[in-house]
Homo-oligomer: A and B are copies of this chain.
Amino acid sequence: MTKAALAAKAPEERRERILRATIAVVRERGFAGARVTDIAVEAGTSQGLVLYHFGSLAGAFAASLTLLEDEFYEELERNLSEVVGPVPRLRHIAELGAGYGPAVGDWRLWLELWVRAIRDDDARAARESLDTRWRGALRQVVDEGLAARVFATSDPKASVLRLAALMDGLAIQLALADPGMTTGKFTELWWKSAVLELGISPVNTATGPQGGRKKR
């Protein structure tokens, strides 16, 4: 049965490989430039199989969005759990945005998603869900900070909205490699706004003392 079980999983694995390939290709060429053939090659299968599983190219796009959502959620949670205490956590978020990984590529993917969301309902739903979740996470950190009295804001919801929007706006410049924008500047610009927005006192600004990053 072990062999059977493994074998039974094969089609499912193929399917997922195609979804990952779809995301990779979109990241590379954008929705507008992604071809069925590109996806098939990237996934190491045939065009036919892409269509067999998802019915159409648009279907593959749509399906890949839900994978994207799932992974985003997962990674977000993993990332935030790495760090304790509202201030370090917020600082961590500032650094996450700049990303230690292939952040520029990721932000480009985000831009692609925004534009697709203008005209495609699946994309619209996905980006809305992603954004809501993301703002929710930020909100949670803010609430923690308020409860601990290290943050102060009269309108947490508005503060979160602004901080989230600021990150998107800075991300555009990062994604487009605007001259003068670097990951370091990204982090510092956002962090400074967060400090201002949430009335974090300079005493609390240092990340060292009350918690801090675990590593990396």
Measured CB to CB, the residues of A under 8 A from B are 29-33, 108, 111-112, 114-115, 117-119, 124, 127-128, 131, 158, 161-162, 164-170, 172-173, 175-176, 178-179, 189, 192-193, 196-197
Contacts and interface: CB of A to CB of B under 8 A. Distances in A.
Contact of A127 (B112, B115, B165, B176): B176
9 contacts: A30-B118, A111-B111, A111-B115, A112-B115, A128-B176, A128-B179, A162-B166, A166-B166, A196-B196
Contacts of A112: 115
Contact of A114 (B117, B162, B172): B172
Decide if the interface of chain A is mainly helix, strand, loop or mixed.
Answer: helix
B176 A172 contact: no
A133 to B, nearest CB: 13
A93 to B, nearest CB: 15
A117 B176 CA distance: 7
Nearest to A179: B128
Nearest to A193: B162
Contact of A169 (B33, B124, B166, B176): B166
A192 B160 CA distance: 13
A108 B124 CA distance: 13
A188 to B, nearest CB: 8
A128 B168 CA distance: 17
Contacts of A128: 176, 178-179
Contact of A32 (B32, B166, B172, B192): B32
A26 to B, nearest CB: 11
Given A30-B118, A192-B158, A172 B178 contact: no
